[in-house]
Amino acid sequence: MSAETGTNFDEMLNADGSVRPAYAEFRQWFDSQDKGWLRRQDAEAERFFRRIGITFNVYGDDAAEERLIPFDMIPRIITAREWRKLTRGIEQRVRALNAFLQDLYHRQEIIRSGRLPIEALRNNEAFLSQMIGFTPPGGVYTHIVGIDLVRTGPDDFMVLEDNARTPSGVSYMLENRETMMAMFPELFTKIPVRPVSDYPRRLARSLQACAPPAFKGEGGSRPVVAVLTPGIFNSAYFEHAFLADQMGAELVEGNDLRVVDGRVCMRTTTGYKAIDVIYRRVDDDYLDPLSFNPNSQLGIAGIFDVYRSGGITIANAPGTGIADDKAIYSYMPEIVQFYTGEKPILQNVPTWRCSEADSLGYVLDNLADLVVKEVHGSGGYGMLIGPTSSKKEIADFEVKLRAKPSNYIAQPTLSLSTVPIFQKEGLAPRHVDLRPFVLVSPDGIDITPGGLTRVALKKGSLVVNSSQGGGTKDSWVLDE
Amino acid sequence: MLLTVKHTTRYVFDGKVTHGLQRLRLKPKSTHGQEVVDWRMELTGARQEAAYDDQHFNHVDLVSIVPGVPEVVVTCEGTVRTIDNNGITGPHTGLMPLWCFLRPTPLTRPGAKVRQMLASIEADRSDVLGFLHVLSGRIAEQVEYVSGTTDAHTTAEQALAAGKGVCQDHAHIFIAAGRLMDVPMRYVGGYLRMDGGDEQEAGHGWAEAHIPGLGWVGFDVSNAICPDERYIRVATGCDYGEAAPVTGIAIGAGETRLDVHLSVGENKVGAQQQQSASGGQQQVQGG
């Protein structure tokens, strides 16, 4: 499966080489520009990024060294009609995810009904029994969700992955746009691109709408929001600091906080100040040494007790990781149907669960054609891409798969859509995916138009992860 | 039986505590077989921060240590009316699904020793209740009750390997083995009025197994019996860690000395009044 076969959906060009309507205005502009000037702008973009210091790894791989994620200046463009359908599908899916979490931590009707086997939860460490019987403020579990989408045809968007714990990368979405607007301001006067710059304001508003019972709003005050970071050594520290700054929220570390008068408070020059909503970028296990990993230095002792007694909102709620587990992913069509009573608008990528004997048999017979992933893995590590692997790589992987089938799922290699990237030689098609960012509050579901487009920079590569040589693009949603 | 409890936990700090928290699961609830008549808790050197019911429906208090105090004293006092149900606590209630009680926990994860012991028992496994009694006897035989050799972090496997332990270790081994047989198991922390006086050495711990038709059934491995009217259940969990009476942190505390004083007495006057008042109910229970 590669771009050269010509079977992939090219988002910019029709099969006859003519430009699709979504890209018509952009292409007209692009073709009229001096290529030497564009190349100089391209180099300028990299300097711009280095200066503002975006050097973290998008997908939270703590081991990776700090480096720049390549930015490609050709935007990924989505029409108003396409976006309308996407937002309907994303909204439906995110509603289902929250209903699913509420159910898992209460009556577990989906298990009782037989739609989801107990095994999917029983050996799953992401399922936190401490959350059982507790409803988070406003009934919201996933305050911030990233839904990873891939496209295989004009109307075929599929969900590759749900990111329900701490989806990262939104700072790229914002900086990519800022960079494009700085480099090519005239483009945004010619083409009606929907803005993304108000994301931090919308995030703050959405989080404030989830204030805990202890927030009384005396004197018309607004809920206090803080961003909890593991600290400057975390690979996504830049994003934590950036979002706090953009929201006008406090950036805090566990050491800055303690339980005072039944609230989680931060030290200020004028005494302790209670936090109402904490946007934590610290994993469940490190959140509270009294409740989870006792050796954690990153969390706040007692925050879970304050949470359960209504003194703080934790975003996203502890235990939401169960909803973005790859084994659970394979049940998402049933999950959407079960909680919304509707057919899923967005399809899943067909997925074989290797824990099931029939599926395992099929996967073993077809390894050369499939993508096999670890159930709990992320970042594109530990996976097999059959079509691009050698016989030996496939044989080695088969040993691992046979040893622990329940650790793996398999998917067909998809014919991913392409968008061109800018190269010295001109435009060259490369595979892309899209991560829209979704905010959830009792006021509703708010999807920022666009998201983060990741692009595989290597010719023919299907892996868009930054850790595997992927880059990013500005993502445009056109106004009506 | 009408039991009166006075339980004092005293932490004496060598250093100056700058920040400290304690999570307390010290308040019993009225459940099948016990009725909390009155209960109060007093804090010295600490103050209440938060209170809630956890996933096991245990009442939890989070208290903070007042910075700089030389000691923290938590005193619980109350009266609990109990009846003898032959160890049966009854049907499972609450939202914790039963399969959660099948998951191994860090303290109850079975190793080779637990598996070996379980395999060596020759008894009819189709009679779960009968088998668990044999299992309980076997654990008591293999693990001598010796205090001071294990602590709150000792695992079931470690205690069985050492052949020594206390009630908590007995319960953990029993839980680990029971789960291997696919029986939902949980830990119970509470009080036992031992024969021979009101003064007790420490709180007590035992286990409950969920058996179809009966619900939760208690097994006190250390005393080789099913809990009766001398037992008060205070908290339950998948292991000791989830039912622990006190867990906490105290930064700057230095050496910490722990004194526990516990008395569980029998109020015979109150119990007689109760008997005459609810004679009809007693008959139903007896039947």
User: Is residue B286, in this structure, part of any structural domain at all?
Assistant: no
* A112 inside 8 A of chain B by CB: no
pLDDT attached to residue A63: 39
A vs B: CB pairs below 8 A: 74
Q: Within 10 Å of residue B188's Cβ, how many Cβ atoms?
A: 25
Q: Which positions in chain A touch B54 (Cβ < 8 Å)?
A: 130, 308
User: If you measure CA to CA, which chain A residue comes closest to B93?
Assistant: A107
pLDDT of B97 higher than 50: yes
User: If you measure CA to CA, which chain B residue comes closest to A135?
Assistant: B55
At a CB cut-off of 8 Å and minimum separation 6, what does B267 contact?
B2, B3, B4, B79
Q: How confident is the model at residue A461 (pLDDT cuts 50, 70, 90)?
A: confident
Looking at residue A68, what DSSP letter applies? P
pLDDT attached to residue A218: 87
Q: Poorest-confidence range of A455-464, B189-198, B235-244, B275-284? A: B275-284
Cα-only R_g, chain A: 23
Question: CB distance A129–B99 less than 8 Å?
Answer: no
Q: Which positions in chain B touch A109 (Cβ < 8 Å)?
A: none
Q: Which of B106, B29, B14, B15 is nearest to B60 (CA)?
A: B29
* A301 inside 8 A of chain B by CB: yes
Q: How confident is the model at residue B272 (pLDDT cuts 50, 70, 90)?
A: low
pLDDT attached to residue A296: 87
Contact B150, B159 (CB under 8 A): yes
Question: Smallest Cβ distance to B19: which of A130, A258, A289?
Answer: A258
* B23 inside 8 A of chain A by CB: yes
Question: CB distance A289–B97 less than 8 Å?
Answer: no
Picking from A125, A297, A305 by the largest number of B CB atoms within 10 A of its own CB, the best residue to mutate is A305
In order, the DSSP letters of A224-275 are PEEEE---TTSTTHHHHHHHHHHHT-EEE-GGGEEEETTEEEEEETTEEEE-
Q: How confident is the model at residue B275 (pLDDT cuts 50, 70, 90)?
A: very low
pLDDT attached to residue A23: 97
Q: Which positions in chain B touch A311 (Cβ < 8 Å)?
A: 50
Both A377 and A266 in one domain: the answer is no
Both A310 and A357 in one domain: the answer is no
Mean pLDDT for chain B overall: 92
Q: Tell me: the pLDDT tens digits for B36-95?
A: 999 999 999 999 999 999 999 999 999 999 999 999 999 999 999 999 999 999 999 999
Pick left, alpha or beta for residue A138 (phi over 0 → left; psi -120 to 50 → alpha; otherwise beta). Answer: left
* Domain, as residue range, for A157: 3-349+414-477
pLDDT attached to residue B283: 27
Question: CB distance A308–B50 less than 8 Å?
Answer: yes
Both A251 and A123 in one domain: the answer is yes
Smallest CA–CA separation between B57 and chain A, in Å?
9
Question: CB distance B96–A132 less than 8 Å?
Answer: yes
Question: Smallest Cβ distance to A309: which of B51, B99, B103?
Answer: B51
Question: Smallest Cβ distance to B50: which of A123, A132, A309?
Answer: A309
Picking from B19, B55, B92, B93 by the largest number of A CB atoms within 10 A of its own CB, the best residue to mutate is B55
Question: CB distance A305–B23 less than 8 Å?
Answer: yes
Q: Tell me: the pLDDT tens digits for A224-248?
A: 999 999 998 887 888 899 999 999 9
Both A156 and A102 in one domain: the answer is yes
Both A70 and A92 in one domain: the answer is yes
User: Is residue B76, in this structure, part of any structural domain at all?
Assistant: yes
Both A460 and A420 in one domain: the answer is yes
Question: Smallest Cβ distance to B49: which of A122, A123, A259?
Answer: A259
Both A407 and A425 in one domain: the answer is no
The arithmetic mean of pLDDT across residues A27-53, rounded, is: 84
Q: How many Å apart are CA A473 and CA A196, to the nearest integer?
A: 14
Q: Which positions in chain A touch B52 (Cβ < 8 Å)?
A: 305, 308-309
For chain B, give the percent of residues with pLDDT over 70.
94
Which residue among A412, A429, A462 closes a domain? Answer: A412
* B247 inside 8 A of chain A by CB: yes
Q: Which positions in chain B touch A134 (Cβ < 8 Å)?
A: 55
* A124 inside 8 A of chain B by CB: no
Which residue among A391, A412, A433 closes a domain? Answer: A412
pLDDT of A57 higher than 60: no
Mean pLDDT for chain A overall: 90
The arithmetic mean of pLDDT across residues A451-466, rounded, is: 82
* B95 inside 8 A of chain A by CB: yes
The CATH number for A364's domain is: 3.30.1490.270
* Domain, as residue range, for B61: 2-273
* pTM score, whole prediction: 0.91
Torsion of CA A368, A370, A375, A381, to 10 degrees: 70
* A297 inside 8 A of chain B by CB: no
Query: Can you list the positions of beta strands (E) in B70-184?
Result: 71-82, 88-90, 144-145, 164-165
pLDDT of A7 higher than 90: no
pLDDT of B11 higher than 50: yes
Q: Give me the number of domains chain A comprises.
A: 2
For chain A, give the percent of residues with pLDDT over 90.
73
Sheet containing strand B19-27, strands side by side: B46-53, B59-65, B19-27, B246-251
pLDDT attached to residue B196: 81
User: Is residue B236, in this structure, part of any structural domain at all?
Assistant: yes
Q: Give me the number of domains chain B comprises.
A: 1
Q: Which positions in chain B touch A261 (Cβ < 8 Å)?
A: 49
Q: Tell me: the pLDDT tens digits for A398-422?
A: 999 999 998 899 999 888 999 999 9
Q: Which positions in chain A touch B55 (Cβ < 8 Å)?
A: 129-134
pLDDT of A379 higher than 60: no
Which residue among A392, A412, A432 closes a domain? Answer: A412
Pick left, alpha or beta for residue B197 (phi over 0 → left; psi -120 to 50 → alpha; otherwise beta). Answer: left
Q: Which positions in chain B touch A308 (Cβ < 8 Å)?
A: 50, 52, 54, 60
pLDDT attached to residue A60: 44
Both A107 and A247 in one domain: the answer is yes
* B55 inside 8 A of chain A by CB: yes
Q: Poorest-confidence range of A73-82, A329-338, B57-66, B275-284? A: B275-284
Both A367 and A342 in one domain: the answer is no
Q: Poorest-confidence range of A104-118, A443-457, B90-104, B265-279? A: B265-279
Smallest CA–CA separation between A108 and chain B, in Å?
8
Q: How confident is the model at residue A457 (pLDDT cuts 50, 70, 90)?
A: confident
* B42 inside 8 A of chain A by CB: no
Contacts 24+ apart (CB under 8 A), A327-332: A327/A120, A327/A124, A327/A353, A327/A355, A327/A375, A327/A409, A328/A116, A328/A120, A328/A124, A329/A161, A329/A162, A329/A409, A330/A409, A331/A115, A331/A116, A331/A120, A332/A93, A332/A96, A332/A159, A332/A162
Q: Tell me: the pLDDT tens digits for B112-159?
A: 999 999 999 999 999 999 999 999 999 999 999 998 899 999 999 999
Question: CB distance B62–A305 less than 8 Å?
Answer: yes
Q: How many Å apart are CA B84 and CA A103, to the nearest integer?
A: 37
Both A341 and A370 in one domain: the answer is no
ipTM: 0.91
The arithmetic mean of pLDDT across residues B86-111, rounded, is: 94
The answer to whether the Cα torsion of B237, B239, B244, B248 is positive or negative is negative
Q: How confident is the model at residue A466 (pLDDT cuts 50, 70, 90)?
A: low
pLDDT of A59 higher than 60: no
pLDDT of A460 higher than 60: yes
Q: How far is CA B212 from the centre of its chain?
A: 22
Q: Poorest-confidence range of A28-42, A102-116, A275-289, B269-283? A: B269-283
The CATH number for B78's domain is: 3.10.620.30
